[in-house]
Chain A
């Protein structure tokens, strides 16, 4: 390391010279000033170009100054730091924009009327109408999917953790992994192929089946992790008292991990609540209220968003409804997420970590 401590003679000579803490800000300011100068001088009218020039200049200045004062290695370190920060800021822009736009445009028409009325005969280009039918459809489809998917997922996880040894358990583990990666539209096509064979028309429960398929692997994975956290001493103590294994599982293992399991199920619900593709194929959408998931096409919140976007040919009223429905859906998913995390923290196993 170079020992030339030019600017900071007061400091210990054992450490190499370092730039003062405010130097990145100073360099950024300088780069910005020069960039504006270049931009004005060359007559570039795009502010984005000014920003890009400033960013490139900032990197060059940082490298040059740091290399001169602190040495090449420190200069590289500073470049890496800047790049990591830039990557972070770059990624934040679209994500913040997504949340901001959804909220700001969604609140325009989102009110009590919107939540308690359906589209009915309201034309796509007209204002009015709402998501009531879609909410009913979504709740019923997701609820039925949960009734099917969650028990199967939890039981499978219990099998894998408490009983599973040998080839069957290995096969189940492998195929749960495989199932996790199935695109939602393929799950929809699977149920569709069954419906084609039995010559059925779209109905809500068909969507539930596809959603249940998507839900199961998620529940299995999370429940498995939670059951593994239950300390073995608890099981052994219960078994040593002569309690049958199945009662040990039901009365000792599951109550200990119930918080984590609930969290996993709620996260899985949040995931399937936003699925559009299988619902599009199997439930079809319906502007009227249909309370029966076992007969006739139903509406669904994500599908409602898609249809308001794609069938409206650019009508502003429909776009407003799409944003409001998006906000409703995001709010639903986020509340589930936050509640799930809250439960996880509240009911976390006290020991075993």
Chain B
């Protein structure tokens, strides 16, 4: 728009723009309709920023109310008695449980998701891979409460055998010993979370693997590489950052998952050394299951733990976005 006011040697001399015209040109939006529309769209953009700011401010405000009353140490206390006067609560167990369940989920889900993405892009028969990708897309949309219900009523009874087997052969490690309680422990939670985040990681990884330049693969094949060597030398290095960011997105989902954990885990406020012994808790699960009995003071305490979860997910997602942004050309799927 500014270009129209510039003159070059070749063009015929134009009358110098008036003051009003120059102002208009500088503003860009000239007509009232344009100004209103720009105001509307910019306003909703600003509204998004305001919501985020308000979220941080109000959560911090209520959390500070709770923490100032807390008679335990907010970070290290192994207790959650918010209805006492004065209240005693701490997030140590929740932080531990959140991290452990997410790690278990990631360890299980990432290799399998990458393998499925490879299967869909490089191994499966063409006719099969399209429909399967479509179904996995749909599975990503299954609500988490349904996963939770399935986990509690179907997965938990089926874990009994695996728990016994792990205890028999790996019980000596300490982290896989089992005292025979109901298998509503961190391992089951991790497995369920892995199943839930599998479609998400698979979808993003598949998009990334699809963007591997054909030339790279053909060059490797022309040198006599086997299919596995093509995958290892051309596909995986190209897709690495995409897979990492996909995993981080899945991790963000696993960290904040509420209902699936709340239905499967039998919580307690101590840390179990073994993944197979029931107990522990996660931030989101604790909020969902303690909310019903919480007084206003208790709700503030739950908001404080939610604030910690908020910060953790922000860091994880920020890291994922940073990785995507740094190698944008490799992950057009989601950047």
Contact = CB atoms under 8 A, between A and B. Distances in A.
Interface of A: 1, 46, 48, 73-74, 76-77, 79-81, 83-85, 87-88, 90-91, 94-95, 97-98, 101-102, 151-153, 155-156, 158-160, 162-164, 168-169, 171-172, 174-187, 189-190, 192-194, 196-197, 213, 216-217, 220, 244-247, 249-250, 267, 270-271, 273-277, 280-281, 302, 305-306, 309-310, 319, 322-323, 326, 329-330, 333-334, 337-338
A185 B143 CA distance: 14
A223 to B, nearest CB: 11
A155 B40 contact: yes
B243 interface: no
A166 to B, nearest CB: 11
Interface in B33-50: 33-34, 36-38, 40-49
Contact of B321 (A80, A177, A305): A177
Interface residues of B, number: 89
B279 interface: no
Contacts of B142: 98, 274, 330, 333
A276 B150 CA distance: 15
A287 B300 CA distance: 27
A194 B248 CA distance: 30
A275 to B, nearest CB: 7
B141 A178 contact: no
Contact of B112 (A73, A91, A98, A177): A91
A108 to B, nearest CB: 14
Given A175-B52, A181-B316, A186-B309, 19 more contacts: A84-B115, A91-B195, A94-B155, A94-B195, A95-B139, A98-B150, A156-B44, A163-B41, A178-B314, A179-B48, A179-B51, A186-B310, A189-B302, A220-B48, A275-B144, A277-B259, A280-B288, A322-B149, A329-B146
A163 B42 contact: yes
Interface stretch (B14-22, B70-78, B80-88, B226-234): B226-234
Given A46-B161, A196-B62, A275-B143, A168 B310 contact: no
A223 B115 CA distance: 31
A63 to B, nearest CB: 12
B300 to A, nearest CB: 7
B153 interface: yes
Contacts of A280: 288, 291
Nearest to A95: B139
Nearest to A271: B141
Given A178-B52, A183-B313, A186-B256, A334 B33 contact: no
Contacts of A326: 145-146, 149
A204 to B, nearest CB: 17
Given A87-B111, A97-B154, A190-B58, A323 B149 contact: yes
25 contacts: A81-B228, A84-B116, A87-B112, A87-B119, A102-B146, A159-B44, A164-B45, A174-B321, A178-B52, A181-B313, A181-B317, A183-B257, A184-B258, A186-B55, A189-B287, A192-B299, A244-B33, A277-B259, A281-B291, A302-B143, A306-B148, A330-B143, A333-B141, A337-B138, A337-B141
A245 B59 CA distance: 40
Nearest to A155: B44
Contacts of B155: 94
A280 B294 CA distance: 13
A96 to B, nearest CB: 10
A172 B49 contact: yes
A171 B47 CA distance: 12
